[in-house]
């Protein structure tokens, strides 16, 4: 029986074998310990463990297995909303396992399980190197990369998962494994796209790219220009080289004092992203968009760390609900459909399109389970849900947008941008999903690990 008293005893027993800590439902720290970055997620695990190192991770996994509990690894809780109930689950928070080492000569980074992207980009950038990090500085490196990893350098270098060179993890049977292309190759393949289904990742190593000065920033217009700007952007994306990765968004920014004045309380349309190195005249690439006379234009040559903040992603936990779909080619009717349901009354804080294709659309040699993203564009929309009424409004807004985009949706999803529970088969090519399920059944036959998206 899992009552509060039993769990308190379990917490004491487990804590005795850890350097880190364990928190149980009766503890005063429980509410803070169980909190996800997405504050709309009310996760209530049997226990929360904060391992300090890989030995602690192994102790948690061994304890769970013997005690008949399961383990949900979590870095930040940015994508916690699809998780099932956690009544018999130890939430294993990696937030105390931090650290970045950069091998400048080999252009390889090694990070500990709980490392956030800004911790990597800030150090790598000093050497003119860039990881394939995403738009948010405080998303966890491991969760992001296990799900694929779509960066502002993505169309040039592909998904982050395919730049991983080694993953160290604890598997369901308590083994500590270093998986590479030459050792535990099936597991290495499955991890790179298979999310948190296969073990608890304790450390990861991945390639960095020489990008000392990227041409990056944002262009901003009032929302009234949304139709014209989005249509021009779609046309433009058809012409740009693989070095260019951008997004286009309609935003209804809340009037929060901490936000910059240029966006605070406004409805706007924004194009942002990067032109990576190798393009002779990046300003010429942007010229067609600049002809639309943006009110703000921050594009300039910047060190790669600047990519961490061009999208103005929130850096504090917040309550929200979001959803993404993979889309094929878009036309004028698609833009109309998006603009029609993304106004200030939509309940949505933002409706975004990211340009895919390029290297993100090709399966590279030696790829993992998330070989590529299937589609030309990725939509992602969301809204703040600080109350049940807001949640209802955002859900309705997401449904309206989903229905409006249905003619262009190809039925596939991108794991990282999927915050509702969907059929996980839609993340992968059919043969890859079958292989992934087989590998999962071999390494975790009893389903010890609870991932946000179960394979």
Helical packing angle, 332-340 and 388-405, nearest 10°: 160
Q: How far is the CB of 12 from ligand FAD (least distance, A)?
A: 25
Number of H helices, E strands in the chain: 12, 19
Name the DSSP class of 87: T
Residue 201 in contact with ligand FAD, rule: CB under 6 A: yes
Min separation Cβ 77 and ligand FAD, Å: 5
User: Between residues 8 and 426, which has the closer beta carbon with respect to ligand FAD?
Assistant: 426
Q: What is the total count of residues that contact ligand FAD (CB under 6 A)?
A: 32
**Of 30, 50, 63, 144, which lies in the binding site for ligand FAD, with binding defined by CB under 6 A?**
144
Taking CB under 6 A as the criterion, the residue among 113, 129, 271, 439 binding ligand FAD is: 113
User: How far, in Å, CA of 223 to CA of 286, rounded?
Assistant: 20
**DSSP codes, 53-78:** SHHHHHHHHHHHHHHT-EEEEESS-T
Q: 30 or 144: whose CB is closer to ligand FAD?
A: 144
Smallest distance, ligand FAD to C-beta of residue 5, A: 29
Q: Does position 326 bind ligand FAD by CB under 6 A?
A: no
Name residues contacting ligand FAD, limited to 23-62 (CB under 6 A).
Answer: none
Which residue number, 139 or 219, has a Cβ lying nearer to ligand FAD? 139
Query: Nearer Cβ to ligand FAD, position 74 or 379?
Result: 74
Q: Which residues contact 390 (CB under 8 A, 6 or more apart)?
A: 347, 383, 384
Provide the β-strand partners of residue 288.
Answer: none
Distance CA 104, CA 129 (A): 8
Q: Reduced to 3 states, what is the DSSP secondary structure of residue 187?
A: helix
With respect to ligand FAD, which residue has the nearer C-beta, 135 or 163? 135
Choice from 25, 45, 51, 143 touching ligand FAD (CB under 6 A):
143
> How many whole angstroms separate alpha carbon 113 and alpha carbon 111?
7
Q: Closest Cα to residue 223, out of 342, 52, 105?
A: 342
Specify the stretch interacting with ligand FAD by CB under 6 A; choose among 146-154, 180-188, 279-287, 394-402.
Answer: 146-154
Q: Which is nearer to ligand FAD, 231 or 367 (CB)?
A: 367
Decide: is 357 part of the binding site for ligand FAD (CB under 6 A): no
Site residues (CB under 6 A) for ligand FAD, limited to 388-417: 416
Q: Of 223 and 450, which has the nearer Cβ to ligand FAD? A: 450
Question: Nearer Cβ to ligand FAD, position 337 or 397?
Answer: 397
Which of residues 231 and 308 has its CB atom nearest to ligand FAD in the complex? 308
Secondary structure element (H or E) that encloses residue 325, with its range: strand 320-327
Tokens 């937030």 appear where? Answer: 95
* Residue at token pair 């109309």: 336
CA angle 426, 431, 436 (to 5 degrees): 75
- CA 97, CA 299: separation in Å to the nearest integer? 35
- The distance of closest approach from Cβ of residue 251 to ligand FAD in the complex, given in angstroms and rounded to an integer, is 13
**Contact assessment for residue 121 and residue 308, using Cβ atoms and an 8 Å cutoff:** yes
| Selected range binding ligand FAD among 42-50, 138-146, 331-339, 361-369, rule: CB under 6 A | 138-146
43 neighbors 25 (Cβ within 8 angstroms): no
Answer for which of 196, 277, 294, 371 binds ligand FAD (CB under 6 A) is 196
Q: 66-85: which residues touch ligand FAD (CB under 6 A)?
A: 73-80
Give min distance, CB of 296 to ligand FAD, in A.
21
Q: What is the DSSP string of 229-281?
A: HHHHHHHHHTT--TTEEEEEEEEE----TTS-TTTTT-EEEEEEEEE-TT-S-
Q: Does 424 bind ligand FAD (CB under 6 A)?
A: no
Question: What does residue 394 show for φ and ψ, rounded to 5 degrees?
Answer: -70, -40
Using CB under 6 A, which of 135, 376, 379, 418 touches ligand FAD? 135
149: contact with ligand FAD by CB under 6 A? yes
Give yes or no for residue 140 binding ligand FAD (CB under 6 A). Answer: yes
Handedness of CA 150, 212, 106, 100 (dihedral sign): negative
102 φ/ψ angles, rounded to the nearest 5 degrees: -115, 125
Among residues 11, 15, 70, 94, which is the contact residue for ligand FAD, using CB under 6 A? 94
Looking at beta carbons only, is 160 or 337 nearer to ligand FAD?
160
Does position 195 bind ligand FAD by CB under 6 A?
yes
Between 102 and 378, name the residue whose CB sits nearer to ligand FAD: 378
Tokens standing for residue 35: 């909190």
Does 299 bind ligand FAD (CB under 6 A)? Our answer is no
* Interface with ligand FAD (CB under 6 A), residue from 46, 86, 150, 248: 150
173 phi and psi, to 5 degrees? -85, 10
Tokens linked to 327: 């889309």
Residue 418 within binding range of ligand FAD, rule CB under 6 A: no
Q: Are 171 and 181 in contact (CB under 8 A)?
A: no
Tell which residue, 298, 361, 352, has the closest CA to residue 156: 361
Q: Which residues bind ligand FAD (CB under 6 A)?
A: 73-80, 94, 113, 134-136, 139-140, 142-144, 146-150, 195-196, 200-201, 313-314, 416, 451-452
């Amino acid at each position: 029986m899992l009552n509060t008293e039993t769990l308190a005893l379990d917490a004491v027993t487990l804590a005795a074998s850890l350097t880190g800590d364990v928190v149980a439902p009766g503890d005063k720290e429980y509410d803070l310990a169980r909190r996800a970055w997405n504050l709309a997620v009310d996760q209530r695990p049997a226990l929360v463990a904060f391992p300090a190192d890989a030995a602690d991770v192994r102790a948690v996994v061994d304890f769970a297995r013997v005690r008949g509990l399961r383990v949900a690894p979590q870095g930040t809780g940015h994508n916690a909303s699809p998780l099932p109930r956690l009544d018999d689950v130890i939430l294993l928070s990696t937030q105390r396992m931090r650290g970045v080492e950069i091998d400048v000569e080999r252009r390889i980074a090694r990070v500990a399980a709980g490392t956030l992207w800004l911790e990597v980009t800030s150090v790598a950038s000093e050497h003119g190197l860039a990881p394939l990090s995403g738009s948010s500085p405080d998303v966890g490196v491991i969760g992001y990369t296990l799900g694929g990893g779509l960066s502002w350098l993505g169309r040039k270098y592909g998904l982050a998962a395919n730049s991983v060179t080694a993953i160290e993890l604890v598997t369901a049977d308590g083994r500590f494994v270093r998986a590479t292309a030459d050792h535990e190759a099936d597991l290495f393949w499955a991890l790179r796209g298979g999310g948190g289904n296969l073990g608890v990742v304790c450390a990861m190593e991945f390639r960095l790219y020489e990008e000392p000065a990227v041409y990056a920033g944002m262009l901003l217009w009032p929302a009234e220009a949304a139709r014209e700007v989005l249509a021009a952007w779609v046309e433009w994306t058809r012409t740009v080289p693989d070095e260019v990765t951008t997004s286009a968004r309609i935003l209804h920014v809340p009037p929060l004092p901490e936000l910059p004045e240029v966006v605070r309380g406004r409805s706007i349309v924004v194009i942002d992203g990067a032109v990576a190195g190798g393009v002779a005249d990046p300003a010429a690439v942007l010229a067609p968009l600049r002809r639309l006379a943006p009110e703000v234009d921050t594009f300039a040559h910047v060190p790669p760390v600047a990519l961490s903040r061009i999208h103005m992603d929130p850096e504090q936990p917040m309550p929200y609900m979001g959803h993404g779909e993979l889309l094929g080619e878009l036309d004028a009717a698609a833009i109309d459909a998006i603009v029609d349901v993304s106004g200030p009354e939509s309940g949505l804080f933002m409706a975004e399109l990211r340009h895919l294709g390029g290297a993100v659309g090709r399966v590279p040699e030696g790829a993992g389970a998330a070989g590529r993203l299937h589609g030309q564009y990725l939509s992602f929309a969301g809204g703040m849900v600080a109350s049940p009424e807001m949640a209802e409004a955002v859900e309705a807004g997401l449904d309206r947008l989903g229905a409006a985009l249905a003619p262009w949706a190809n039925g596939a999803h991108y794991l990282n941008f999927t915050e509702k529970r969907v059929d996980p088969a839609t993340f992968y090519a059919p043969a890859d999903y079958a292989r992934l399920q087989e590998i999962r059944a071999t390494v975790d036959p009893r389903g010890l690990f609870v991932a946000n998206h179960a394979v």
